[in-house]
Amino acid sequence: MAELRQASRIIRVRTPGRALVEITDEIASWVTGQGMSEGLLTLLCRHTSASLTIQENAAPAVRRDLLDWLDRAAPEDHPYAHDDEGPDDMPAHIRTMVTGVTLSIPLIGGALALGTWQGIYLMEHRRRPHHREIALHLLGA
- Residue 45 CB, shortest distance to a second copy, in Å, is 8
Nearer to a second copy (CB atom), residue 33 or residue 73: 73
Interaction mask 54-83, a second copy, x per CB under 8 A: xxx--x-xx-xxx-xx---xx-----xxx-
Selected binder of a second copy within 6, 32, 33, 110 (CB under 8 A) = 6
Q: Does 4 bind a second copy (CB under 8 A)?
A: yes
Measured CA angle at 48 (ends 19, 131), to 5 deg = 55
Could you give the CA distance from residue 118 to residue 24 in angstroms, rounded to a whole number?
Answer: 9
Selected binder of a second copy within 48, 87, 110, 129 (CB under 8 A) = 48
Q: Does 25 bind a second copy (CB under 8 A)?
A: no
Where do the H-state alpha helices sit in 15-120? 24-33, 60-73, 89-99
Q: Which residues bind a second copy (CB under 8 A)?
A: 1, 4-6, 8, 10, 38-40, 42, 44, 46-48, 53-56, 59, 61-62, 64-66, 68-69, 73-74, 80-82, 84, 90, 93-94, 96-108, 113-115, 117-118, 133, 135-137, 139-141
